[in-house]
Amino acid sequence: MVGTPLKETEMTRITPATPVAIIGAGPVGLAAAAHLAKRGLPFLVLEAGPEAGHSVRSWGHVQLFSPWRYSLDKAALRLLEPTGWQAPDPESYPTGRALVERYLTPLAAHPAIAPHLRLGRKVVAITREGVDKLSNAGREDAPFLLHIECADGAEELIRAGAVLDASGTYRTPNPLGAGGLPAIGERAAAVNTFYGIPDALGAHRERYAGKHVLVAGAGHSAFNALLDLAALADDVPGTAITWVVRRGSERMGQAYGGGANDALPARGELGQRIRGLVEHGVVQLVTGWRTDRVERTPEGLVVHAGARSLGPVDEIVVTTGLRPDLAPLAELRLGLDPAVEAPAALAPLIDPNIHSCGTVRPHGVDELSHPEPDFFIIGMKSYGRAPTFLLLTGYEQARSVTAALAGDWEAARRVELELPETGVCSGPVAAGEGVASSCCGPVETVVPAGNLISLTPVAPSLISLTPAAAASSCCAPAVQATCCEPEAKADCCGVAAEATGEAGELVALTSASGSSCGCQ
């Protein structure tokens, strides 16, 4: 079910008694607060943890691949700059800890936000006051009612005229089991299983030093975990690393990312460093692996995938992605894609099954609307189970939705952001070793692995957010801005080389000259 946007002719029911409730005091939640403060709308920020950015601090040792200039919201900067706040070097790369201490903490303490921030307030359920999910009568006139669990065990009810769920997905990781459920024995192995990126060079060093560690997952979180473990292995003899991924060996070119074609150099470099670790035998890669069972033996944990087995290993690190916690939203009328669990209008833009490049055009209130008026999911949670979320995306979502709540529809629907491309396509066009140079660029051959490795970080360089189309690209510069819109594919990338299947299914495209096209 596609969402119903706010009606431009109606005023939202936002008053001091029924403010906008923002769930989560992370980067996107606080950005929404900054925009609402700018527009003079009443709001409350409800944070489950003891401080703003509590979930971010949990991965405080991890360096972001977006530099500071892509990690700060414009409305937040307008609040902070007059206070004497010292902006970080825009070209340097923050860690999660630095993001909290140098940005989120001072932003949360700003006089425009601090009086409206409630810490230790976990939202466990949301409904309409006196109206359950089934009822139509009086629904749109009833305020939201948020059920809160406080850190001291007390309970609260908060009334709101609108709700922005920016609670993220960090606390709900995907399991090790390949079917989306915990593998047999996975729960019993919890004491030796870490979900996320462990601090293998810091707080968790003793846990992994000299141990055999199995890492599951093929995204950037897996890359960060593998790099830290490899550094530990270089320092502590006996530390061994096995890396398991679901994809076959023929698709590993995509897993390593876009390399030099990625508009975020630090992101592009991650995969190339991992490729080098595999090439040099530091990391033992096992492809086509789908875990279904974990067995504890006297020698350690043995991990099974059908008739195949690995181990024994001492520790397991699970970096298989994240998923949204939808339980608190059970009494609301949501319009979510059944597979991605993102808003129905947004899902086709980010579904990794059909979307190429990991680069999504900016989107806002229309794509984020639900059948439940005045309710929005923004930030990482808006992506459901899809990967490749960037803070820039969440900031644009916050700007658009808050503008709509204020009745400024011209601003709400104005695009104010273009996102950097990943330089790699993950759809059928790039199903082999080919990697597209841009979302709409030609498919190029990956350089052999042995020629790519550099284990030292590459210095950041200035990045153009709108890469020009190459001369050989099947997207001309004049149409590049819309070449990845579904309705523009034929004009931009030529004609379909194969018939389409069901609605939204991807086809291979060729330009008029017959060259393969990376636009999907």
pLDDT (tens, 9 = 90+) of the chain, 520 residues, equals 455 555 554 446 899 999 999 999 999 999 999 999 999 999 999 999 999 999 999 999 999 988 999 999 999 999 999 999 999 999 999 999 999 999 999 999 999 999 999 999 999 999 999 999 999 999 989 999 999 999 999 999 999 999 999 999 999 999 999 999 999 999 999 999 999 999 999 999 999 999 999 999 988 899 999 999 999 999 999 999 999 999 887 777 666 765 555 556 666 677 788 989 999 999 999 999 999 999 999 999 999 999 999 999 999 999 999 999 999 999 999 999 999 999 999 999 888 877 644 456 778 999 999 999 999 999 999 999 998 788 999 999 999 999 999 999 999 999 887 666 554 444 433 333 333 333 333 333 333 333 332 333 333 323 223 333 333 333 333 333 334 444 443 444 443 333 333 333 332 333 333 333 333 3
Q: Which CATH architecture has domain 20-171+322-412?
A: 3-Layer(bba) Sandwich (3.50)
| Topology alike, domains 20-171+322-412 and 187-246+288-318 | yes
Measured CA to CA in angstroms, residue 101 lies from 70, 85, 97, 109 at distances of 17, 12, 6, 11
In the chain, what is the greatest distance between 2 CA atoms, to the nearest angstrom?
69
pLDDT for the residue numbered 4 = 54
Nearest to 314 by CA among 255, 240, 368: 240
pLDDT for the residue numbered 333 = 97
Tell me the one-letter amino acid at 363: H
pLDDT for the residue numbered 394 = 95
Nearest to 266 by CA among 223, 215, 202, 218: 223
Neighbours of 454 (CB within 10 A): 10
The three-point CA angle 111-390-470 to 5° equals 135
Among left, alpha and beta (phi > 0; psi -120 to 50; other), residue 39 is alpha
- Burial label, 155 (beta-carbon count in 10 A; 0-12, 13-18, 19+): exposed
Give the dihedral sign, CA 196/170/390/250. positive
Find how far residue 284's CA is from the centre of its chain. 27
Residues 6+ apart with CB under 8 A from 410: none
Could you tell me whether strands 121-128 and 144-150 are parallel, antiparallel, or unpaired per DSSP bridges? antiparallel
The SS3 call for residue 479 is helix
Neighbours of 429 (CB within 10 A): 22
pLDDT for the residue numbered 12 = 60
Neighbours of 394 (CB within 10 A): 25
Q: Domain boundaries in the chain?
A: 20-171+322-412, 187-246+288-318, 428-459+466-517
Tell me the one-letter amino acid at 36: L
| Full-model pTM | 0.79
Neighbours of 475 (CB within 10 A): 27
Element (H, E) at 444: strand 443-445
- How far apart are alpha carbons 228 and 31 in whole angstroms? 31
CATH superfamily of 187-246+288-318: FAD/NAD(P)-binding domain (3.50.50.60)
Measured CA to CA in angstroms, residue 165 lies from 22, 112, 262, 411 at distances of 6, 20, 30, 21
Among left, alpha and beta (phi > 0; psi -120 to 50; other), residue 377 is beta
> Does residue 64 contact residue 93 with C-beta atoms inside 8 Å?
yes
